[in-house]
A and B are shown apart, each in its own frame.
Chain A
Amino acid sequence: MSRRVRLLLLGPALLGLGALLAWAIAGLPAFGDYRGPYGFVLNRIVAPLRHTTNVVMGTTFDVRGIDTMGEEFILYAAVVGVTLLLRDETRSRQAERRTRRFGNDTVRLVGVGMVGGGLLIGLWLMAFGYITPGGGFQGGVIAAGAIVLLYLVGSHRDYRPFRDERFLDPLEGIGAGGYVVVGLAALASGAAFLTNLFGLGTPGMLRSGGSIPVLNWASAIAVTVAMLLLFAEFLETYVVPLEPEDAAS
């Protein structure tokens, strides 16, 4: 197709798309307008019924607990897929080579501080997710990111324990399986799957929400380890074959 024909085709297509887009935007509800009843209902019932001061977490781990389980297994399946695709035994041995430390002291110092700080923020987000904004997913990714910083500012040797599959694989299983086990425990007790089992506790305290903290920690472990496994595979497959001077620049 010549350039002219393509432009002739593009013109009407752009016009049509633009008109549809303008029509759709003109029909949008006003800014800040919310009509769905679901949010209003949740805002009213979650805190009194589940004793979680963060309604979002009460929703994700209790009202829509089974959806979150599905999401957890999406991540799990993604990690399994990446691992199966990228696993290459010859590379793992090569990975031991990069033991040289990063050159710049200032960067290393700041980085080491960020490892501790990041880990602390991650753990705080996990632990208090159902009280203040946060939760297992966000805390997990941040904690895993802090651990990966060890690789960047330290050496591969410092980071090695955190990419050891003998240690990570069971933990991932505990995280992903723990969620299901809590759901099955409810079934065994005669209630429906993922019914909130344990005492609800005092709102605003760490001991509140019943099953929600347990589910939250299970998904926090699953997400942290899933990210670490992903990083380990990516680092081994992509980054390590680089020469040290490239990896440091």
Chain B
Amino acid sequence: MLLATLVPLQAVAFGLVALGAPLVVLTRDPLRQALVNGIYGVSLVCLFVVLEAPDPALSMLAVSGIGYPLVILAAVARSRSHERTKDDEKR
């Protein structure tokens, strides 16, 4: 009933989002996860554009493409530098 009302383009966009979400969850390495999450964000942007919502699409692009990865990357860099100082102390 739901699928019958979808235009093929919308179905593809929904499919990409459905495919991307588990990929983000299944990626274990935080650094890679930040990258995969960025790509997943782009698929959401495509979905918003297809659903004729350009303003949320731009917000999504700005947040998932710039804001969020930067915070994650900074946190990853921080925790890795912590690990290394601990290793240095052991030596």
Using a CB–CB distance below 8 Å, which chain A residues touch chain B? 30-32, 54, 56-57, 125, 133-135, 137-138, 141-142, 144-145, 148, 227, 230-231, 234-235, 237-239, 241-242, 246-247
Contact = CB atoms under 8 A, between A and B. Distances in A.
B19 interface: no
Given A31-B6, A148-B70, A241 B81 contact: yes
B70 A137 contact: no
A125 B57 CA distance: 13
A54 B55 contact: yes
Given A234-B74, A238-B77, A239-B74, A142 B66 contact: yes
Contacts, number: 67
A145 B66 CA distance: 6
Nearest to A146: B66
B67 interface: yes
A149 to B, nearest CB: 10
Contacts of A241: 81
A82 to B, nearest CB: 10
Contact of A30 (B5, B57, B74, B78): B5
Contacts of A30: 1-2, 5
Contacts of B2: 30-31
A138 B5 contact: no
Contacts of B65: 145
B77 A239 contact: yes
B9 interface: no
Interface residues of B, number: 23
B61 interface: yes
Interface in B45-91: 54-55, 57-59, 61-63, 65-67, 70-71, 74-75, 77-78, 80-81
A31 B10 CA distance: 11
Contacts of A57: 55
B1 A135 contact: no
B74 A125 contact: no
A148 B70 CA distance: 10
A142 B66 CA distance: 7
Contact of A145 (B54, B62, B75, B78): B62
Nearest to B85: A241
